[in-house]
Amino acid sequence: MEDKKKEIEGLVSRLNKYSREYYTLDKPSVTDKEYDILYKKLEDLEGETGYILPYSPTQRIGDGVLNGFEKYTHRAPLWSLGKAQNYEELKDWLERNERFVREYNRQNEDKLPEPSYWLTRKFDGLSVNLTYDENGILVMAATRGTGITGEEITKQVRTVKSVPLRVNSRELFEIHGEAMMTREAFLKYNETAKVPLKNTRNGAAGALRNLDLAETRRRNLIIYFYDVGYKEGRQFKTYGEMIDFILSEGFPTDGYFEKADTFEEIKTLIEENIEKRSELSYEIDGIVIVLDDMKTRDLLGYTVKFPRWGIAYKFEAEETTTRLLSVEWNVGRSGRVSPTAILEPVELAGVTVQRATLNNMDDIERKDVKIGADVYVRRSNDVIPEIMGRVINDNVTEDILPPEFCPSCGTKLTKIGAHLFCENTLSCRPQLIKTIVHYASRDAMNIEGLSEKTVESMFINLDLRKISDIYALTKEDLLKLPATKDRKAQNLLNAIENSKKAKLSSFIYALGIQNVGERTSRDLEKKFGTLENVMNAGREELLEVPDIGEIVADCILDFFRSPEVREEITALLNHGIELDEPGKKKDWEKDSQKAEESTPFTGKTVVITGTMKNYKRKDLEEKIISLGGIPQGSVSKKTDFVIYGEEAGSKLQKAQSLGVRTLTEDEFEGMI
């Protein structure tokens, strides 16, 4: 029996280690199959002996329904933070801290350090408070509640696999975290949900305050930790020490802990987060700024509501409610006819919102959206706002009905899957205009001057009906367009002529194949080398291309099977388009393979910061991709290189602090 107990203890230790590697560090050392074999062995031994450790991975709750919630009184209050709505308010708060430290140091011999700050992201989820006992075992989890008393949710938190059930510390402590649904988890859940979630925050809150543990588990939550609210034994002298403790004990974090000393440094870091906000997989609604020195914190103390030593800089709101007035149906480049909601104007994230996307009829029915209803509207940076659902109230509403005919050309619509399509690709004005504008866009054939307004004028005045028609235009034709003078006409002709020499990948992207973007176009160029090879590629060959799955492969095959498409490509080539096709160069495949094998950037993550002398940012990113590298927007411990130019800021500093290799522009060019 004792031997089996020791075996159980060893298995629990190993499995918890493997879980941390997988869920927190993202560096698994064993396969899923190996983990499952050990887990099954542990289950069998526990069943045979009845010896079950409270921190065994088998004790992560995943099923069952609870009777209700018990109240829990936190050992230390969970304070809310005061808010700074703008930089002036933030600057005032920083100056108050500086005055306090100066005045204290003037009157006392035991001097306080100059104010220094840590910045963390303000997560938009549900705050939780976890208690670990003197044996390092998770014994309690509770919601924030009033800040003094919360609801016990220990079993719900145990379903979150990244949360450690046992830690190394042998001093009782409480740790604060934020439970969230990632955007990916939210979308995946809503694909099959009978009642779709309105947003990720409600999804997380509903998961932890749910008595059905299977439902909690289905929402696939994450919890990021950032603060120790209560701790027995040795106390932290700085917040930096607290961060080290949180990380060393294996608690998952988002990795964002930034140090700053001045208002300008803090402002720069806030601006970076506003810029990167939409790229994160989880929601944030601000940045938290706290003093580093704990003694200074203690002396500053608290107001009735907030600590004086911390503040939250709030971003512009990204969600609100307004009235849905009507629905407008629009034709896209692929012929898809999609609904757009016309809204009662409302301020959201610094702009007036009057329109929002609705995707398709299935989306409308799933969200139970109706004309006249109040709806939840969400906006992320410059992305068109989206309706998340309907507010249940007493508004008089009417159903949204799909159109039978194309709102532009009158052709009877066809339903394919969840979407409506106009199949009149040859003379449906919106389709043709958007196709040509895409073809002429900067990342495609780069014909400057072919705006949507200009192409629409060509459709009306010059009978423009297909892409190849633009290469037959003369100066006399262009002068017939309203408000087009000699110089403008000549500039447009020059741009059209210059577009005739193009990279193969740019041409593939310009053709507008459904689901084929810039990256896939580059991958097709790299794999096949010539336009002819791409056009004649088989399904199995296409599936060998990185990131091309069955749906994208079928889109490519269907596109090039069309006689009209092949006829149009022939017409374009006959107009003098010359493609830079790597496959026609001598020993292309061998040289490409050799270059890929020899580049020091193959498979490496690269961050660019600052202003370069010889590259635009996009050109440098493309160069890195051509060398097999992976451009990224932010620096982390997993970053391999940071290439920096003039006026490089916090990204360079972070790279240096993490020991990430940094390269000047000249050093980069020397390596390649």
Q: Which residues are catalytic?
A: 122
CB 250 within 8 A of CB 136: no
**431: CB partners within 8 A, 6+ apart:** 331, 332, 333, 334, 335, 422, 424, 425
b/e 4-17 (16+ beta carbons within 10 angstroms → b): eeeebeebbeebbe
Q: What is the pLDDT of residue 517?
A: 87
Cα–Cα distances (Å) from 476 to 449, 460, 472, 479, 480, in that order, read 17, 16, 11, 5, 7
Backbone angles phi, psi at 512, to 5 degrees: 75, 40
Q: What is the pLDDT of residue 69?
A: 80
Report the alpha-carbon distance of residue 165 to residue 167 in Å, rounded: 7
Q: For the whole model, what pTM was predicted?
A: 0.52
Q: What is the pLDDT of residue 590?
A: 44
Q: DSSP letter at 637?
A: T
Low-confidence spans in the chain with pLDDT less than 70: 22-27, 32, 60-68, 317, 349-350, 380-383, 425-427, 585-598
Helix (H, G, I), strand (E, B) or coil at 42: helix
> Which stretches of 213-318 are assigned E, i.e. beta strand?
222-231, 258-260, 284-291, 310-314
